[in-house]
């Protein structure tokens, strides 16, 4: 007697060379993870399992997620501060920690300039330009 097994993956495209993350047993879990990763698609795998526990048939169904405010493009994992003058650096969980570290370093070392980098799963490490100017 055949039965069907279904699981979900978060993926970034419908191309053959795509990034997939999972598996998940519910669509809600896969959608949540896709939102965190900045992925725009879900992939539903359906396996038809035969009597001898062998896979008889595989179906792949792509589902495009709707962009919107409920599904953020990415979430910052970590914030990195680095002094452009001397190379001192630190890793922070919160933006206020990066601000405090930068204030202390710039107070202790006059004319040093701190740069801020945001690390996400979707985009990697990316510099936040003008972050000190926005606070002043």
Least confident of 39-48, 61-70, 71-80, 115-124: 71-80
What is the pLDDT at residue 62? 93
pTM passes above 0.95: no
Short-list 24, 16, 19, CA closest to 39: 19
Domain positions in the chain are 3-64, 76-135
Q: Is the pLDDT of residue 126 over 90?
A: no
- Give residue-wise pLDDT tens across range 65-114: 987 554 444 456 788 999 999 999 999 988 888 888 999 999 999 889 89
């Amino acid at each position: 007697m055949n039965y069907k097994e279904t699981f979900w993956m978060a993926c970034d495209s419908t191309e053959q060379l795509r990034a997939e993350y999972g598996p998940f047993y519910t669509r809600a879990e896969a959608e949540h993870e896709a939102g965190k990763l900045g992925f725009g698609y879900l992939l539903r795998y359906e396996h038809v399992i035969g009597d001898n526990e062998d896979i008889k048939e595989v179906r792949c169904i792509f589902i495009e997620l709707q962009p919107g405010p409920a599904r953020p493009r990415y979430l910052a994992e970590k914030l990195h501060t680095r002094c452009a003058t001397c190379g001192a650096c630190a890793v922070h969980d919160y933006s206020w920690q990066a601000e405090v570290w930068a204030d202390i370093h710039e107070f202790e070392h006059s004319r040093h300039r701190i740069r801020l980098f945001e690390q996400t799963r979707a985009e990697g490490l990316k510099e936040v330009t003008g972050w000190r100017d926005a606070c002043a």
